[in-house]
Structure 1
């Protein structure tokens, strides 16, 4: 799933044995480790990277990572991917969550991303020095906002080194004041006269005269590359004084121009041609160079070997040597000579040949950069059209968006493929308005210019446009939707190798929402069978949908198989988000099947990484955990987890997630016995329409109002449950429908309407139990037992009710054995437990007397004894205390 990364960007300069060691600078860098960040700034050619590289080589007891930046990194997701990959060169599994987030969740906040990175780095035992080279190439404000937060919150294990030609837009003054910043600047990096002399003596065959040293030092002003150029110009000469004289005589020319011309004029013609032609390449190998110059690759390799031998500013980027680049300053000088020697058409041909080779080797970003340098926007559009399906199948929406940004808007409006591609980007962002607008423009092009498209292209684009329409028009009539789904699938079915997973998933989920589970399964099964060449992440997404559809159709065994297979693949291939959604699915199945240990394991994994699914899966799994811990008499665990989830929600800054976590807090309060606090939230929560099955607010609100049990609260609970019934009746998710029916049955029971309660519970039992959903009836206390016993008298449900009652009895026995006796007050008698359970169900003393066939006076004695043993003064406090002690099961 991760886009191809240029491994050469992680290679620090490979230093030869001829560099000048500069102890004073190495000591400065050592001292800078006491700060959080070292900034190395100077103009091009002052040896910034070389000094830092030599210092890194000498570091002990620390890991080091290097990242060379370029203009293509001016896109926050791409920058983060490379940053994490650089860190992974030292810590292979560190910060992997961030890689997944930036690829699949472009709305992830800077606060959340930096928190994940900082927390992961803080767990590493060995300190890390992370070098970012060529920071001046970055101008994205989001990247600098990220770096600011990263540096200010960096753990002691991290020291950042920034190498730049100019001061980056970071709060340097604030960092200086706080002692966060160490600096090396131009005056530090410039050669002193002594270093100039040492440098020349180390590389010339004869002792340089003082006049040469003085001239070079004065004219170059300590410029390191200038000294290297002078050295190359002096190679093979003994007339040092004459060279110094000529250098002085040309004082009117820029020193660099004079020296570069001296060096180039000394090279053979074929070497000069190679140098200026390959200057357009930010990195090159023999094959790429051969393609650009239209020469044999052996000849290109021989040219590279010559440049390395004579030290012509060639830097190796890989070990063993394969990729190379020129020193940036030397490359700039060569590019100026290229402009002087060749016309624009010839230079454009060089770029086109480079782009063709790079595209053939799937280095699309670099290929597009060369086409943009011409600029050839039509060729850029052509290349994106060729690559768009594979990029969408890798879910690399951010990368596709970056490519599309290079196409001028007028041209984009003329390309249906590109408009549809951008529509999928907007669809991923849930920007329905922009998605509809782009789709409409593409549809018009497809209708008016049909002859320009191949039959395959017409069918695929039509299918995509239908899928986008279904995704962005929720109010469409069901029969219209059904007809469009089948039309789109008929077009897509024969062209699966030419499309991507987002189209298939849109059609399949739209079918499921219409209740056509069989057709949804047909779509995903056919895709899994025929799209074997798709990227793994795309196939895993389709397989996950298959698991969900199997679950919705009541085939839990097949669902578990799909989710489990995906979890294995996710673990093997480090697909973290696939792993999380697989656990979410496995946890849901375990819940309904009452496999508490399995459910807890899966739910905890999801809740501990909420940001991987924008918090939505974490909300559902936390809701399940609260009920699970209440049933196990461990409600305090819920509060701790919800507090952690609240911190994550605040970092993510998503209003939906924050609202849901507030509701989860109230639910945890309820299970811990703090009914008053939970009720304050429930009564203060506004009514709202459900838009997603991840919305747990209506369910939580209904449970809290049920626990209060007053007429007013029961009326409000009825409203919440009716919304649940309405929403889930159209969602075709049976286990959510069953939960809503159970809550409605409980409301009717407490409203003294046992016939209606029995009707709704019958519907829930008939819906859930044949599918193995006995776990849905757990955790509701004695009232559920009484209601299920009534179902025994109905021929159609007696056996189903018995299946649930057997599990309830086993759980009650287990629960009573697991209560920590050290937390219990004086034991309650069997009769007092019966009274307590009826108190919890909000029976009056008269109703309790009638239910137990005892006198009103006897009930008063029992309640007084209960209050005394529980050390409370009223019935509400008694019920809350009993919940906290585990004497009563969790409130619904």
Structure 2
């Protein structure tokens, strides 16, 4: 979890010196992109920038860094969090990218941030305080990319003790940087005098101010130390402090001249709270077993004792770094056991007050591996199911091997983390090793033998999902039943994930009633077990089934309720918003069918980066399917063909790694070809589908309905009616209402073709009655021109004043119909393009990468299969895109097929 107080701009003290000459330099202006405020600690960098922000009309996102942020994902999570805390919307996709276990996930998140800033169009300031904590070359390189592609109106201000390793020379030539160095930040004599008189309340002479300014070279922290130590004799010109700018001397001065002059109670408070990276009254009271924490903090603030407010409510604070470092050195040297005890109390408070990740960061910093192992064992499952599987994997990797090897629970935690990261190919050997360890413990009557038996249920559950990925339905079902049998005898919250597996099995078999019951249980238990990702995924698949059964309103209510629960319980705006592929796909289909394509596109948009950057094969197919369906509904037939070809091919080639039977992309693809009049391609597409592998009746029905449409297009209505008459009873019996409406409509079209007009009208009557109950709108506009005319002229549609009938009339009058891309000469557009060749042929390695992309593998999987580094794969992909003249995966595949480099 991210700490929201890091996004709070320090409040501007009305007593502080107004530095108008420096504030003017910070103002935004073309072509400037970066304010670089670099100076040693205590030169007033933060105060200056906070003062400028308080006077600036543009929206400001503020981020204060610390030593834990020198890690790319964490750094960019905080950058996004700063913008969101300041009120920016639209960053959900970038948030989601950071949860992916992919080498290019951070790059994708940064690109998403740049695009969001560009589309937002407002002037923004981003202030990053204490940038010197960032030493990672990766972060520096990524940050340079952000600056290079910033849209107009965005200004970034960095406050740092050292000059960052950025391409500053190049940017200075372009006049993108305003430098504010220590020489500019140093207080002038007049500012020094104003500081002592107005800020510190000391009436010193001009000679004293000049002397102190000269000795400290305008360093405000040293001047503040001087003022604190000299209060008792401030009017005595002979008591001007003599200071050295060496930090060791400053530390000594803090201890001898500031700390020792405080009352004993306050001195004790300062030393005891130095272990806290940030302070609030509750934390202070807890570790000190007191009830006056707020009063003490406000007392420190009033005395200017190096306490910096982190909000406007005087709830959160931090000490000045040098001050805190000096205090820590003192207590660790003089009272090491007390210092250790207070630090442990601080971490305990963080862990028990929902600052788990902050507490773990403290433990990792102290390298207390035994404690980290215990904390992960207690909190790891909740973190994983809350969407934080990647940090958990990093923390487990940080542990010494012997601590993990000796703890089955941590090994199971690693397995779950890899499972949620879609790295299922790594799980079999880990599961086998864990099973061997558990068997030995049971055989040896280990004290934790009971816990070992409990973990067997988790192992069986994971193995059931692996069996689904191998299309081994029997093993998956047997393993799941065993888990359900044993589940009430364990203390591990597994019911939600188990019932989700049951729902998947029933969905695959076509038992939609059983699937709905299981998924409703998965949602309910997921809420009890507080597993938001499982709740979203289970609710999403439930809504997908409800939509396909024709219960659109119920499906939408399911999505709304599930999303509401997750947002109510996991609504921290600094965290990535959890996204479910099933739920967003269901919502895309729902709003597409309700003829609200713009709203459908908003739910599709967060999923598209998964496809372009590479994702789990099953999700890839679902996303491309709904994407293709939306394009088909909007009349973008060539786009739809591109997406659906990709979905069909990935579905066939990666079938062994998909946990469920994906939608019948070939059926919808055939409809696209029928809309273009390329009937032979439609027939080839349907014949290529291996129907023996289809177990889900929905998908079988989809293919049969498309075959019937094709028969009508070939003017063979008798064959169409034979196909449809076999489908009709089962669709009615199983309440496949969406398909039932389609069957009735296509049947009516076939009857009309043979002149059986009364029967055709009767079929349309039945279809309209079913569609009205379900709320279907868009599917009427996707039928043939002749059938649309029949429906449009039907009395129930033509003359009714009902709202649903009016919407159907509107959609039938829409000019963007499926055949709108049909050229005048009747030939598909693709055949009108001349055959082209590449100016520069692909290398052997580039061809190998192209084939693996076509097979649906993500970049990391490609690197593993080619036995090269991920960076090498990215280089091959860049070269490949350049030679093909494209910018993304789907474009590359479509272009390669046009050139004959891949088979369709």
Tell me the TM-score range normalised by the shorter chain.
0.7 to 0.9
Task: Name the larger-Rg structure.
Answer: 1
Change (3 A) 1:106 1:875: closer
Greater shift after overlay, 563-572 or 226-235? 563-572
Which residue of 134, 137, 144 maps to 2:130?
A: 134
Alignment partner of 1:27 is 2:21: no
Alignment partner of 1:470 is 2:470: no
Alignment partner of 1:271 is 2:280: no
Greater shift after overlay, 254-263 or 465-474? 254-263
Structure 2 Cα separation of the partners of residues 32 and 603 of structure 1: 39
What's the offset of the Cα at 1:417? 2.1
Q: Secondary structure at the match of 1:297?
A: coil
Change (3 A) 1:212 1:766: same
1:699-735 CA distance string (max 9 Å, x none) = 4665577789999858744542x33x244x23x1x33
- Which residue is 2:358 aligned to? 366
Structure 2 Cα separation of the partners of residues 125 and 749 of structure 1: 51
Alignment partner of 1:484 is 2:479: yes
1:285-311 CA distance string (max 9 Å, x none) = 23322333x34222x444334322321
Structure 2 Cα separation of the partners of residues 205 and 529 of structure 1: 65
Structure 1 Cα separation of the partners of residues 506 and 698 of structure 2: 18
1:550-607 CA distance string (max 9 Å, x none) = 567787776565345446768987997658854632564788xxxx544746643444
Q: Secondary structure at the match of 2:179?
A: strand
Please tell me whether the aligned partners of residues 624 and 643 of structure 2 are also in contact (alpha carbons under 8 angstroms): no
Structure 2 Cα separation of the partners of residues 241 and 184 of structure 1: 33
Which residue of 256, 260, 279 maps to 1:261?
A: 256
Alignment partner of 1:16 is 2:51: no
- Which residue is 2:842 aligned to? none
What's the offset of the Cα at 1:152? 2.5
Please tell me whether the aligned partners of residues 584 and 604 of structure 2 are also in contact (alpha carbons under 8 angstroms): no
Change (3 A) 1:787 1:417: farther
Which residue of 309, 317, 320 maps to 1:327?
A: 320
Change (3 A) 1:113 1:373: closer
Unaligned runs of 5+ in 2: 613-619, 770-779, 795-818, 833-904
- Which residue is 1:619 aligned to? 624
Q: Counterparts of 1:28-47 in structure 2 under 5 Å?
A: 28-30=25-27, 35-47=32-44
RMSD: 4.6
Please tell me whether the aligned partners of residues 792 and 801 of structure 1 are also in contact (alpha carbons under 8 angstroms): no
What's the offset of the Cα at 1:283? 0.7
1:652-692 CA distance string (max 9 Å, x none) = xxxxxxxx87345999xxxxxxxxxxxxxx9xx99953636
Please tell me whether the aligned partners of residues 464 and 477 of structure 2 are also in contact (alpha carbons under 8 angstroms): no
Structure 2 Cα separation of the partners of residues 259 and 710 of structure 1: 83
Greater shift after overlay, 219-228 or 109-118? 109-118
Which residue of 348, 373, 389 maps to 2:381?
A: 389
Alignment partner of 1:812 is 2:789: yes
Change (3 A) 1:750 1:265: closer
Alignment partner of 1:355 is 2:332: no
Q: Secondary structure at the match of 2:233?
A: coil
Please tell me whether the aligned partners of residues 758 and 787 of structure 1 are also in contact (alpha carbons under 8 angstroms): no
Structure 1 Cα separation of the partners of residues 141 and 359 of structure 2: 29
Structure 2 Cα separation of the partners of residues 518 and 46 of structure 1: 68
Alignment partner of 1:662 is 2:663: no
Q: Secondary structure at the match of 2:132?
A: helix
What's the offset of the Cα at 1:188? 2.0
- Which residue is 1:83 aligned to? 79
Structure 1 Cα separation of the partners of residues 536 and 195 of structure 2: 59
What's the offset of the Cα at 1:694? 5.6
Alignment partner of 1:398 is 2:393: no
- Which residue is 1:409 aligned to? 401
Q: Secondary structure at the match of 1:170?
A: coil
Q: Secondary structure at the match of 2:653?
A: coil
Which residue of 271, 282, 288 maps to 2:277?
A: 282
Change (3 A) 1:756 1:622: same
What's the offset of the Cα at 1:878? 13
Please tell me whether the aligned partners of residues 701 and 717 of structure 1 are also in contact (alpha carbons under 8 angstroms): yes
Greater shift after overlay, 38-47 or 153-162? 153-162
Structure 1 Cα separation of the partners of residues 751 and 80 of structure 2: 54
Which residue of 405, 409, 420 maps to 2:412?
A: 420
- Which residue is 1:739 aligned to? 702
Normalising by structure 2, report the TM-score: 0.73
Structure 1 Cα separation of the partners of residues 399 and 92 of structure 2: 32
Which residue of 290, 314, 327 maps to 2:307?
A: 314
- Which residue is 2:898 aligned to? none
- Which residue is 1:433 aligned to? 425
1:198-232 CA distance string (max 9 Å, x none) = 43455464434747743x44543332211111111
Q: Secondary structure at the match of 1:182?
A: strand
What's the offset of the Cα at 1:144? 3.8
Structure 2 Cα separation of the partners of residues 601 and 204 of structure 1: 61
Q: Secondary structure at the match of 2:432?
A: helix
What's the offset of the Cα at 1:278? 1.6
Q: Counterparts of 1:119-130 in structure 2 under 5 Å?
A: 119-124=115-120, 126-130=122-126
Unaligned runs of 5+ in 1: 630-634, 643-659, 668-681, 818-840, 842-869, 882-892
Change (3 A) 1:33 1:15: farther
Please tell me whether the aligned partners of residues 365 and 403 of structure 1 are also in contact (alpha carbons under 8 angstroms): no
Change (3 A) 1:491 1:726: same
Greater shift after overlay, 700-709 or 457-466? 700-709
What's the offset of the Cα at 1:484? 0.6
Please tell me whether the aligned partners of residues 667 and 686 of structure 2 are also in contact (alpha carbons under 8 angstroms): no
What's the offset of the Cα at 1:165? 1.7
Structure 2 Cα separation of the partners of residues 199 and 687 of structure 1: 70
Structure 2 Cα separation of the partners of residues 252 and 559 of structure 1: 64
- Which residue is 2:62 aligned to? 66
Structure 1 Cα separation of the partners of residues 651 and 379 of structure 2: 47
Structure 1 Cα separation of the partners of residues 828 and 519 of structure 2: 53
Alignment partner of 1:336 is 2:329: yes
Please tell me whether the aligned partners of residues 226 and 256 of structure 1 are also in contact (alpha carbons under 8 angstroms): no
Structure 1 Cα separation of the partners of residues 827 and 246 of structure 2: 96
Please tell me whether the aligned partners of residues 503 and 519 of structure 2 are also in contact (alpha carbons under 8 angstroms): yes
1:132-158 CA distance string (max 9 Å, x none) = 111222345554444333322323332
Please tell me whether the aligned partners of residues 99 and 388 of structure 2 are also in contact (alpha carbons under 8 angstroms): yes
- Which residue is 2:113 aligned to? 117
Q: Secondary structure at the match of 1:281?
A: coil
Structure 2 Cα separation of the partners of residues 802 and 536 of structure 1: 43
Q: Secondary structure at the match of 2:41?
A: coil
Greater shift after overlay, 493-502 or 74-83? 493-502
Structure 2 Cα separation of the partners of residues 143 and 764 of structure 1: 58
- Which residue is 2:799 aligned to? none
Change (3 A) 1:765 1:410: same
Structure 2 Cα separation of the partners of residues 813 and 109 of structure 1: 50
Structure 1 Cα separation of the partners of residues 321 and 684 of structure 2: 70
Q: Which has the higher contact order (CA 8 A, sep 6+)?
A: 2
Change (3 A) 1:247 1:414: same
Please tell me whether the aligned partners of residues 419 and 441 of structure 1 are also in contact (alpha carbons under 8 angstroms): no
Change (3 A) 1:878 1:424: closer
Q: Secondary structure at the match of 2:315?
A: coil
What's the offset of the Cα at 1:245? 7.7
Q: Secondary structure at the match of 1:236?
A: helix
Structure 1 Cα separation of the partners of residues 480 and 473 of structure 2: 10
Structure 2 Cα separation of the partners of residues 805 and 30 of structure 1: 63
Please tell me whether the aligned partners of residues 40 and 161 of structure 2 are also in contact (alpha carbons under 8 angstroms): yes
Change (3 A) 1:192 1:561: closer
